């Protein structure tokens, strides 16, 4: 569903990604792990079109989208939950969700999609009129997830959804991703440093070091010691 070929990205003269190869099959959860600063977030931004690569290509369902704008990638089926959640803090919960529908043609925007997200995340319905910036960190993460999922993307990019979240909400998010994985209706690329969380939800894992993929394999086949070595500070 999503594939990255020989992708290289730089900030000025500083090379951040070098010849990255990565695949996210339809209906699977693929996790990208690594220490802070190795290029994980840069890779997601490049896939979303927020950064221009110096080389390589990004393909979505066999179509080359390397030169597409972010809004075109969103309309093509990519959903993105950035690190830090990226909600609109001064808008209500419901207004944030309605903005998630903006990537769809007007005829496809419906109240049913909104109600479906409230069913998945009941706390958001309770606080639907509340200003989003006043929610807890965990509730804001649920809002960011719901905003990305409300238009039913075919690929979801998740950047460290457990960061700064209370344990009970981490469990809820893990269960939610597990449910999506069982349904096999969406491909997920998850950036995560919490090893146990990543292993519990993933079909396949990649490990990044200094902007390159250094280890990859099925989640059940990778050596925990090898992976943890690249995560240790």
> For residue 217, what is the domain's CATH number?
3.40.50.300
Percent of the chain with pLDDT over 70: 96
- Say whether both 23 and 130 belong to one domain: no
Which pLDDT score is estimated for 109? 62
Structural domain harbouring 186: 1-77+154-166+181-233
User: φ, ψ for residue 180 (rounded to 5)?
Assistant: -60, -40
- Pick from 4, 13, 14: nearest CA to 55: 4
- Pick from 90, 87, 89, 119: nearest CA to 100: 87
Neighbours of 187 (CB within 10 A): 26
- Say whether both 33 and 52 belong to one domain: yes
- Say whether both 135 and 159 belong to one domain: no
- Say whether both 52 and 161 belong to one domain: yes
Exposure of 132 by Cβ count < 10 A (0-12 exposed, 13-18 middle, 19+ buried)?
A: buried
Sign, CA dihedral 77-81-82-87, equals positive
Is 50 exceeded by the pLDDT of residue 107?
no
> How many structural domains compose the chain?
2
Neighbours of 232 (CB within 10 A): 7
Q: List, for residues 13-39, the tens digit of each pLDDT value.
A: 888 999 999 999 999 999 999 888 899
Q: How confident is the model at residue 188 (pLDDT cuts 50, 70, 90)?
A: very high
Is 80 exceeded by the pLDDT of residue 232?
no
- Say whether both 41 and 139 belong to one domain: no
- Say whether both 90 and 147 belong to one domain: yes
- Say whether both 103 and 126 belong to one domain: yes
Which pLDDT score is estimated for 194? 83
Is 70 exceeded by the pLDDT of residue 143?
yes
The residue assigned the tokens 């221009």 is: 52
Residue 115 lies in a domain: yes
Dist. CA 136–CA 139, nearest whole Å = 5
Residue 173 lies in a domain: no
- Say whether both 19 and 82 belong to one domain: no
- Say whether both 159 and 50 belong to one domain: yes
Which pLDDT score is estimated for 9? 93
- Say whether both 119 and 138 belong to one domain: yes
Is 80 exceeded by the pLDDT of residue 108?
no
Neighbours of 129 (CB within 10 A): 9
Dist. CA 45–CA 88, nearest whole Å = 19
Residue range 69-88: average pLDDT? 87
Dist. CA 43–CA 20, nearest whole Å = 9
Is 60 exceeded by the pLDDT of residue 141?
yes
Residue range 51-71: average pLDDT? 92
Name the helix (H) or strand (E) containing 32.
strand 29-33
């Amino acid at each position: 569903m999503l594939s990255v070929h020989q992708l290289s990205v730089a900030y000025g003269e500083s090379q951040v990604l070098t010849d990255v190869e990565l695949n996210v099959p339809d209906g699977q959860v693929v996790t990208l792990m690594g220490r802070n600063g190795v290029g994980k977030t840069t890779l997601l931004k490049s896939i979303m079109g927020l950064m221009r690569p110096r080389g390589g290509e990004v393909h979505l369902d066999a179509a080359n989208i390397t030169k597409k704008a972010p809004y075109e990638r969103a309309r093509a089926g990519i959903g993105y939950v950035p690190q830090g959640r990226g909600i609109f803090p001064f808008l209500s919960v419901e207004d944030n969700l309605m903005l998630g529908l903006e990537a769809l043609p007007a005829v496809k925007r419906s109240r049913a999609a909104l109600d479906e997200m409230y069913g998945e995340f009941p706390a958001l319905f309770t606080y639907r009129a509340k200003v989003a910036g006043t929610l807890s960190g965990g509730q804001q993460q649920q809002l960011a997830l719901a905003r990305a999922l409300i238009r039913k993307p075919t690929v979801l990019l998740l950047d460290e959804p457990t960061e700064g979240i209370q344990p009970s909400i981490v469990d809820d998010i893990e269960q939610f991703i597990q449910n999506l994985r069982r349904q096999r209706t969406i491909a997920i690329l998850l950036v995560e440093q919490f090893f146990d969380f990543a292993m519990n939800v993933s079909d396949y894992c990649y490990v990044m070091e200094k902007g390159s993929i250094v280890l990859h394999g099925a989640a059940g086949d990778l050596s925990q010691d090898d992976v943890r070595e690249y995560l240790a500070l």
